[in-house]
Structures are given as C-alpha cells and as structure tokens.
A and B are shown apart, each in its own frame.
Chain A
Amino acid sequence: MCSGRVDLEFIFRSFAKGQDGVFIGGCKLDECNYTTHGNYDALANTYIAKRLLKHIGINPKRLRTEFMSGADGHLLAEYTDNFSGEIRELGPLGTSEGLSRGELKIKLESARKLIPYLRLVERERLRVPEKTKKAYTSFFESYETKNLFDKIVSDKLAISQILLLLKDKALSTSDIAQNLDLNPSDVSKHMNTSSRQGLIKYDTNSNCYALA
C-alpha cells in the first residue's frame, strides 16, 4: 500500500474519532517503490486536507506529512517527537480552536461529506502537471489555488454544515449564523439556494428552516 492510498476520508475519520493529530509518512519523493509516484498524490491530498481543516476552523498543523526512506529511522523519531510536542501544545482537538464538542462533530462531518466532491475537484482543477516538489509547493501555496479552493469549497461546506445542524431541529437564520459563526447574509444566501434545490423548507410560523 502506497501513501497515495491515504484517503482524505482516512484523515478526517481519524479526527472525527477523536485523534488530536494525524501524521502521514511516505517514501521520499522521487524514490517511488512502485512506478506511480503516489507519494505526490499524498502531498496533494495533504494540501487539500489542510485547507479544508482551515475552513472548518481546525488548526491545519494537526495534520503533518513527511517523506523519508526506510533507512531514515532517526528522521521518523525526530518528526514524531516534534509533532507530538506540537500537538501536545495545541491540546485536545477543539480546545485551542475554541470549538465545542458539538461544533467539532458537525464541522468534521460536513467536511467528510465533501470528500467525494473534493476527489472530483482534485482531478479537474487541482492536478499539478509536473511531479516535482517545487511544482507542487508553488501550485498549492499560490494565491490563485487557495482562492480557487476557497471558492469551490466554502459554499458547499457551509450548506453541508447547515443541513447537519438542521437535522437536530429547525432553526432561524440568525440561530444558524450564530451557531456556525457565519455571516447572516451568507447564511440567507445559502438558505435561498438550498430551498430552491428542495433541500430545506421554510416554516413561516416559526420563522425557522427545517430539513425538507
């Protein structure tokens, strides 16, 4: 199994199941044991996952990917010590982020719902033509890519969170905005699109939205 097999779902499931940090170790870039160089896929996935973490308010530092060879035991030890130190400083998931248990649950679940979509996005929009570390870094760290990603993800993520929130009970726009720490006008916009798509319905009596 290759580090490229490490699915976004693995990462987010780990967080959802209570892990405070996730570390991915892969073979050194350009030293693939297969011919696939799947570790570059792992690198791309890491960038995507970190960005997504940022969107849901989780410190992206909680995810770390390092590449090393089987002979680099000392590096693994060094990275592990260093990473566990960092995570210890950040504390349990949510604490340094100021997220409650309920918020965490909703945010992570909404992110996980997005994963199949992100796989498509990765293929269509986020593929780096050249397999070099430089190309990957400059692509994923460029303003354009970040911007593109944000545009693609933020609406979907917000809607996904809103739907999850409404699963429990019907809420008003302002409740939702407060609950999810979103701009009320954005929430209204999402509510409009979602009702148009028939995902939710508005109850005029209570002024609340509920799942359709």
Chain B
Amino acid sequence: MKNEVLPTETIQEFSKGLVSKNSGNQNFGDVMVVGGGVSGIQASLDLATAGFKVYLIEKGASIGGHMAQLDKTFPTNDCSM
C-alpha cells in the first residue's frame, strides 16, 4: 500500500459505514451517491460519518475513479493512492 491516507481511511471508515448499511429496512437509505471517484468517495464518507446511510453506486469494478490511475499528484507529487 502506498503512503497516502486515502485507502486506509476508506477501509477504516467503510468498515464503520458498513454497519449502518446492514441495519434497518433492507433497501431504505438516506443518500445515494452516483460515481465512485474521489469526489463520490469523499461525499459518501462524510455522510456516513455524519450519521446517514449511504448507497455508493459505481459502474466499474472498483471505486477510485481516474485518480487511482494517476501516478502522483501535483503540486506536491504525493502519491495518488
């Protein structure tokens, strides 16, 4: 895993978020986020942390979007993972 905080946090926070996913009425949620790129992930994490049940919908095989394909990011040359 790379040096960035994103994936770890994602997993950590998702493991929290998943809790809310499993509860209550099966298919009743608060917010649907469409698109699992960096923006969609951030929106989902924020909402889940703030007490909402979120559906994150991604048409591809993995979340991460185009940012996952980038090598580094400007202007700090931080790794994009």
Q: Mark B1-15, 1 if CB is under 8 A from A, else 0.
A: 111110000000000
Say whether B2 contacts A71, CB under 8 Å. Answer: yes
- Using a Cβ cutoff of 8 Å, how many contacts connect chains A and B? 23
Which chain A positions have C-beta within 8 A of B26? none
> Which residues 18-72 of B sit at the A interface, judged by CB distance below 8 A?
71-72
Which chain B positions have C-beta within 8 A of A69? 2-3, 78-79
Say whether B1 contacts A70, CB under 8 Å. Answer: yes
Say whether A31 contacts B77, CB under 8 Å. Answer: yes
Chain B nearest CB, measured from A1 CB (Å): 14
| A contacts with B, residue count (CB < 8 A) | 6
Chain A nearest CB, measured from B24 CB (Å): 37
Which chain A positions have C-beta within 8 A of B4? 70
Which chain B positions have C-beta within 8 A of A27? 3
Which chain B positions have C-beta within 8 A of A204? none
A69–B2 Cα distance when bound, in Å, is 7
Is A147 part of the contact surface with B, judged by Cβ < 8 Å?
no
Minimal Cβ-Cβ distance residue in A for B78: A31
A71–B71 Cα distance when bound, in Å, is 9
Minimal Cβ-Cβ distance residue in B for A71: B79
Say whether A31 contacts B2, CB under 8 Å. Answer: no
Which chain A positions have C-beta within 8 A of B77? 31
Which chain A positions have C-beta within 8 A of B2? 69-71
Is A33 part of the contact surface with B, judged by Cβ < 8 Å?
yes
Chain B nearest CB, measured from A36 CB (Å): 15
A70–B2 Cα distance when bound, in Å, is 4
Which chain B positions have C-beta within 8 A of A70? 1-4, 79, 81
A4–B1 Cα distance when bound, in Å, is 21
The 4 A-B residue pairs whose C-beta atoms are closest, nearest first, are A70-B3, A70-B2, A71-B79, A71-B2
